[in-house]
């Protein structure tokens, strides 16, 4: 059952968060919906412009719609992650998305407000909600690299003005996470003082945590033991940090990197341990299974297990 993103985020505010997972291909769509069904949790399915270019927007969204028919009990929303106007117009025009993200966080405050407000007007006309971003996260997101020097935290005072002036429905904030597999190499972690202040200025308003992957050291070690060469110093957002962030207003936790690492681990180990194999679906089935299990751990961490019932 498709519901609006705003419905999900307003409902869970302060109590639990919804996992928002970026999908790129069929095994991920199925793995995600299986997990949502098994743990009766609401989910947000996300597609980036990169994913839409890879599979083709219609192909990608059609897979999600096929999953909707296959798993009719699953409560989900479909979100365009990190869009700019050209993608957003396409996503809104298609009538298939429940929300879009306008990422004008790299612009000045004034230009970010202007671009976001224009998207909000266009989206709200069609009943679609808008996530905006204020502050800049470091790291790698698909094909975009932001250096640590260019990143900065969200200003709580600006966050209030920004939400008032744009009319956006949720706000992605920069409070110490970064995108990609190389986060927190400096060990700084989440900035709870900033998050708390933003939450106080915007009570009841859904906040979004990008860069929500955990980057499990055990997974990195297994990848490297199976021939990978990934840096082992980085760590992601710790479970304890996520738990602490939810009562402070984080309603949506974005996850992409952990699934990419999982894919790498499953496939590297598969080809190392079964060198006689050459059947893509054998490895694909293992990935789907591992994917479902891993999303199950995220659902539990965010407190979303069993919460699909709140939307029936």
Active site residues: 81
d(CA 67, CA 74): 9
Report the residue number, 81 or 169, with the smaller CB distance to ligand 13P: 81
Least Cβ distance, residue 294 to ligand 13P (angstroms): 12
- CB contact at 8 A, 73 and 1: yes
Report the residue number, 172 or 198, with the smaller CB distance to ligand 13P: 172
Least Cβ distance, residue 182 to ligand 13P (angstroms): 10
Give me 157's structure tokens.
């005072």
State how far the alpha carbon of 14 is from the alpha carbons of 68, 131, 244, in Å.
28, 18, 10
The answer for residues whose C-beta is within 8 angstroms of residue 10's C-beta and 6 or more apart is: 206
Report the residue number, 170 or 254, with the smaller CB distance to ligand 13P: 254
d(CA 165, CA 158): 10
Rounded to 5 degrees, φ, ψ at 201 are -75, -25
Least Cβ distance, residue 94 to ligand 13P (angstroms): 20
Least Cβ distance, residue 18 to ligand 13P (angstroms): 14
d(CA 307, CA 312): 10
- CB contact at 8 A, 151 and 137: yes
Q: H or E segment at 252?
A: strand 250-255
CA 132 to chain centre: 13
Residues that bind ligand 13P in the complex, under the rule CB under 6 A: 22, 81-82, 179-180, 210-213, 254-258
- CB contact at 8 A, 199 and 248: yes
Report the residue number, 40 or 216, with the smaller CB distance to ligand 13P: 216
CB atoms within 10 A of CB 200: 12
Least Cβ distance, residue 231 to ligand 13P (angstroms): 15
CB atoms within 10 A of CB 204: 9
Report the residue number, 21 or 61, with the smaller CB distance to ligand 13P: 21
């Amino acid at each position: 059952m498709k519901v609006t993103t705003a419905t999900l985020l307003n409902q869970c505010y302060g109590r639990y968060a919804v996992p928002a997972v970026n999908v790129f291909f069929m095994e991920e769509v199925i793995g995600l919906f299986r997990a949502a069904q098994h743990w009766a949790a609401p989910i947000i399915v996300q597609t980036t412009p990169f994913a839409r270019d890879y599979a083709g927007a219609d192909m990608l969204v059609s897979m999600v719609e096929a999953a909707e028919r296959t798993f009719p009990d699953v409560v989900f929303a479909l979100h365009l992650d990190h869009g700019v106007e050209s993608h957003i117009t396409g996503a809104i025009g298609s009538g298939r998305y429940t929300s879009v993200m306008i990422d004008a966080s790299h612009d000045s405050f004034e230009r970010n407000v202007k671009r976001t407000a224009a998207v909000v007007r266009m989206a709200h006309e069609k009943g679609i909600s808008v996530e905006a971003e204020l502050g800049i996260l470091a790291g790698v997101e698909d094909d975009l690299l932001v250096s640590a020097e260019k990143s900065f935290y969200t200003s709580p005072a600006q966050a209030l003005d920004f939400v008032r002036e744009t009319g956006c429905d949720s706000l992605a904030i920069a409070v110490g996470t970064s995108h990609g597999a190389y986060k927190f190499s400096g060990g700084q972690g989440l900035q709870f003082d900033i998050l708390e202040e933003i939450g106080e200025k915007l009570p009841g308003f859904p906040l979004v945590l990008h860069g929500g992957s955990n980057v499990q050291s055990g997974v990195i070690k297994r990848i490297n033991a199976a021939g990978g060469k990934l840096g082992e110093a980085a760590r992601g957002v710790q479970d304890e940090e996520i738990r602490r962030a939810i009562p402070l207003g984080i309603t949506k936790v974005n996850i992409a990197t952990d699934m990419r690492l999982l894919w790498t681990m499953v496939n590297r180990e598969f080809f190392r341990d079964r060198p006689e194999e050459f059947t893509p679906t054998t490895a694909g089935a293992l990935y789907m299974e591992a994917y479902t299990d891993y999303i199950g751990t995220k659902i539990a961490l965010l407190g979303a297990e069993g919460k699909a019932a709140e939307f029936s």
